[in-house]
Amino acid sequence: MITTDKYNPHEIEPKWQKYWDEIGLLRAREGSDKKAYILVMFPYPSGDLHMGHLKNYTMGDLLARFRVQQGYSVLHPFGWDAFGLPAENAALKFGVSPADWTFGNIQQSKESLSLMGIRYDWSREVTTCLPDYYKWNQWIFLKMYERGLVYRKKSLVNWDPVEQSVLANEQVIDGRGWRSGALVEKRELEQWYLKITDYAERLLADLDKLPRWPEKVKAMQRAWIGKSQGAEFDFQVKGHPAKIRVFSTRPDTIFGATFMVLAPEHELVAQITTPEQKAAVEAYVAAAQMKSEVERQREDREKTGVFTGAYAINPANGKEIPVWIADYVLAGYGTGAIMAVPGQDERDWEFAEKFGLEIIRTVEPPAGWQGKAYTEDGPAINSDFLNGLYMEQAKKKIIAWMEEKGIGSGKVNYRLRDWLISRQRYWGTPIPMIHCDSCGIVPVPYEELPVLLPTLKDVDDIRPKGKSPLAAHPEFYECECPKCGGKARRDTDTMDTFFDSSWYFLRYTDAQNPALPFDPARANFWMPVDQYIGGIEHAILHLL
For Zn ion (CB under 5 A), the number of binding residues is: 7
Residues at the site binding ligand ANZ, with contacts judged by CB under 6 A: 228, 247-250, 253, 263, 329-330, 333-334, 336, 338-339, 341, 344-345, 413
Which residue, 36 or 254, is less far from ligand ANZ as judged by CB? 254
Residue 200 binding result from ligand ANZ, Zn ion, none, given CB thresholds of 5 to 8 Å by partner type: none
Residue 339 binding result from ligand ANZ, Zn ion, none, given CB thresholds of 5 to 8 Å by partner type: ligand ANZ
Residue 484 binding result from ligand ANZ, Zn ion, none, given CB thresholds of 5 to 8 Å by partner type: Zn ion
Smallest distance, Å, CB 373 to ligand ANZ? 7
Asked if 506 interacts with Zn ion (CB under 5 A), we say no
Q: For residue 120, which phi and psi values (nearest 5 degrees)? A: -130, 170
Which residue, 123 or 438, is less far from Zn ion as judged by CB? 438
Cα(383)–Cα(317) distance, rounded to whole angstroms?
9
* Residue ranges in 431-460 that form contacts with Zn ion under rule CB under 5 A: 436, 438-439
For residue 232, the cross-strand partners are: 247, 409
Which residue, 415 or 489, is less far from Zn ion as judged by CB? 489
Which residue, 479 or 540, is less far from Zn ion as judged by CB? 479
Q: Strands of 419-420's sheet, edge to edge?
A: 165-167, 150-160, 185-194, 419-420
Residue 258 binding result from ligand ANZ, Zn ion, none, given CB thresholds of 5 to 8 Å by partner type: none
Amino acid, res. 319: K
Piece of 59-67, 423-431, 484-492, 505-513 that binds Zn ion (CB under 5 A): 484-492
User: Cβ-count burial of 15 within 10 angstroms (0-12 exposed, 13-18 middle, 19+ buried)?
Assistant: exposed
Cα(306)–Cα(50) distance, rounded to whole angstroms?
53
Piece of 226-234, 307-315, 333-341, 477-485 that binds Zn ion (CB under 5 A): 477-485
Residues in contact with 165: Cβ distance below 8 Å, sequence separation at least 6, in sequence order: 85, 159, 423, 424, 425, 464
Smallest distance, Å, CB 411 to ligand ANZ? 10
Asked if 118 interacts with Zn ion (CB under 5 A), we say no
Beta pairing, strands 531-533 & 35-40: parallel
Smallest distance, Å, CB 484 to Zn ion? 3
Residues in contact with 316: Cβ distance below 8 Å, sequence separation at least 6, in sequence order: 254, 255, 257, 384, 398
Cα(365)–Cα(9) distance, rounded to whole angstroms?
73
Cα(7)–Cα(517) distance, rounded to whole angstroms?
45
Asked if 484 interacts with Zn ion (CB under 5 A), we say yes
Residue 532 binding result from ligand ANZ, Zn ion, none, given CB thresholds of 5 to 8 Å by partner type: none
For residue 531, the cross-strand partners are: 38
Which residue, 318 or 485, is less far from Zn ion as judged by CB? 485
Asked if 150 interacts with Zn ion (CB under 5 A), we say no
Asked if 179 interacts with Zn ion (CB under 5 A), we say no
Around Cβ 84, how many Cβ atoms within 10 Å?
26
Which residue, 158 or 253, is less far from ligand ANZ as judged by CB? 253
Per-residue burial over 346-361, b if 16 or more Cβ lie within 10 Å, else e, is ebbbbbbeebebebbb
Give residues in contact with Zn ion (CB under 5 A).
436, 438-439, 481, 483-484, 486
